[in-house]
Homo-oligomer: A and B are copies of this chain.
């Protein structure tokens, strides 16, 4: 993990620690705001092991600050609830036993009110800790905690969506929003999917410390890329429907062997959340069941589906290196959490010669397995368990989604999930060349 020079360098930021506190406070408030439409019962919802209850997210992110900052570094701090140390540990083996992930919904105690109180207590103590003389290594840890909480903000959205979706009544997270989604039909795949070309050559990949980044984003290193092309926009629901209607889910030759087994075992014939009603496709959204918008990016597909679609389309997925090389030219802007759409939106641009939707909307599956960069070393201690130990049987996704905070995403950011996962906002951008 590397930390911004604006924090290291006091000269350029005379009110350094207040700024960190402000960032801390804002992120903490955002988590609460995301949960505000939820009932007490919704906070405890867990419909599959992967998707944790919102209450747990609120507590676990707090636990991070308590365990790694307050307990070791704030003199006189005494944990009000010592049992939370194990209770809200997620996977840090160095911390000790923890409840099974699949059973997080069984923690009816502490109550939501107690978790809110826990957050307030920790926030109060954090305000004390974030004094002007905060040592840089602690500032780094705070930044890590802030980014950690942002990750869980995205999970709050996706896990709540999954949890509510399994209720046969399909209750909405919120009323239908003001985000009017145009129903304009895009032209078919072959007609207008423009490509943006990139030259072969050595590209510098990875973060090099001019701002916060996770340990897995570095070290920065050279990667040689063959010439390649990226689709200017994301694959749409319309295009994905062509794939479905063309028998995509029934053609073994399009699928990875493991993917074929997966779709047959789970009887997948469409993206997650899609339901056919009277011949029309609907899908569950944060605003309840809605008709599928043809021009919007396809979402909630697994790597297996992204890979099969690309093969069917005569293209492929980009590698994470190609994606990052291309993204280096793009401004970090798009349909991110701050837009409050909470769903991917159609590309607003009509220029197929420039990359659109690189940030936000949906995480883009890449064809790269999640592995350490040359020279990668995890951070020392428990926080070192953060990224490195998952470098197996996962694929990299890039670019953030409609549930990703703006300040959390960047060109070097590496998200990763197993190839069968699809409850995150995950979609497809085609690549070509080579």
Contact = CB atoms under 8 A, between A and B. Distances in A.
Interface of A: 39-47, 55, 83, 86-87, 91, 93-94, 99, 103, 105-109, 111-112, 163-164, 166-169, 171, 202, 221-224, 226, 252-253, 255-260, 303-304, 367-369, 371-372, 374-375, 384-385, 389-393, 419, 434
A244 B46 CA distance: 38
Contact of A368 (B202, B371, B385, B393): B371
Given A41-B111, A44-B41, A103-B166, A419 B392 contact: yes
Given A390-B257, A393-B393, A108 B169 contact: no
Nearest to A160: B108
Given A258-B392, A389-B255, A112 B41 contact: yes
Given A41-B112, A258-B392, A167 B106 contact: yes
Contacts of A167: 106-109
Q: Give this chain's copy count.
A: 4
A44 B44 contact: yes
Contact of A224 (B106, B224, B389, B390): B224
Given A41-B41, A83-B169, A108 B164 contact: yes
Given A166-B103, A224-B202, A41 B39 contact: no
A371 B367 contact: yes
A259 to B, nearest CB: 7
A259 B112 contact: no
A256 B387 CA distance: 10
20 contacts: A39-B111, A40-B40, A41-B108, A44-B108, A45-B106, A45-B108, A83-B168, A86-B168, A94-B252, A105-B105, A108-B171, A109-B171, A222-B224, A256-B389, A256-B391, A257-B389, A303-B392, A367-B372, A392-B419, A393-B393
B108 A375 contact: no
Contacts of A42: 108-109
A327 B393 CA distance: 27
A413 to B, nearest CB: 20
A103 B47 contact: yes
Contacts of A47: 103, 106
A106 B112 CA distance: 17
B41 A256 contact: no
Nearest to A368: B371
**Quick one: which of A45, A168, A371, A392 has the most chain B CB within 10 A?**
A392
Contacts of A86: 168
Nearest to A369: B369
A337 to B, nearest CB: 23
Given A42-B108, A108-B45, A108-B163, A371 B374 contact: no
A374 B41 contact: no
Contacts of A112: 41
Contact of A94 (B168, B253, B367): B253
A284 to B, nearest CB: 14
Given A94-B253, A106-B166, A393 B419 contact: yes
Nearest to A169: B83
Contacts of A106: 45-47, 105, 163, 166-167
A220 to B, nearest CB: 11
A371 B369 contact: yes
A87 B371 contact: no
